[in-house]
Amino acid sequence: MFPPQTRFVSTPPTPLLASNSDFQLQIQLAVCDLTRRIADAAAAASAQGGDGAAVITRTVDAWVRVDDRDGDGRVPITSFFPPLWSVALPRLTRPNDLVDLVPAFAAAAWSFIVIARTIRDRSLNQAIHEAIDTILSRAETIAASTCH
């Protein structure tokens, strides 16, 4: 009469962990939106005769310089996003919510990979691939320093 029970039943997340994972997901979505806006700004600069690749390079270089201070791979949301870029910040579930850098940078790299497939301008495409390498190397450095 009753369906068979699965061998491994997952326990529902605690509300504290669920709210934190929601916050991290919102950060990753904001990161994906920002990468699209960076690519749009670079394309607009390039179309007007400017150096669109420099827009990508400078922004990503400023972005990956974020310092997690105590080496735990997490930073306050206000210091995570690159300066001079307006980002709609998610509502904090707790006043001490911190951004996990490795998943956020992984989302940025993934988003740039998706965007790079649609860019035909060689200089912009090359700048995006260099940005991906920069972001992934920074994420790798953070991940290596937080693994004890």
Domain assignment present for residue 88? The answer is: yes
Residues 6+ apart with CB under 8 A from 64: 105, 134, 135, 138
- The distance from CA 21 to its chain's CA centroid, rounded to whole angstroms, is 14
Give tens-digit pLDDT for 84-133: 898 888 877 777 789 999 999 999 999 999 999 999 999 999 999 999 99
Give tens-digit pLDDT for 51-73: 999 999 999 999 999 988 888 88
Q: How distant, in Å, are the alpha carbons of 4, 10, 45, 77, 142 from that of 7?
A: 9, 10, 57, 40, 36
Domain assignment present for residue 114? The answer is: yes
Domain assignment present for residue 3? The answer is: no
Give me the percent of the chain exceeding a pLDDT of 70: 85
> What is the reported pLDDT for 18?
52
* Residue 13 to residue 46: CA distance in whole angstroms: 47
Give me the percent of the chain exceeding a pLDDT of 90: 62
Domain assignment present for residue 69? The answer is: yes
Domain boundaries, position 53: 47-146
Helices (H) then strands (E): counts for the chain = 4, 2
- How many structural domains is the chain composed of? 1
Domain assignment present for residue 33? The answer is: no
Q: Which two tokens stand for residue 85?
A: 């870029």
Domain assignment present for residue 83? The answer is: yes
Domain assignment present for residue 13? The answer is: no
Q: How distant, in Å, are the alpha carbons of 117, 129, 134, 135 from that of 105?
A: 19, 14, 10, 6
Kindly report the average pLDDT of the chain as a whole number: 86
DSSP three-state, residue 117: coil
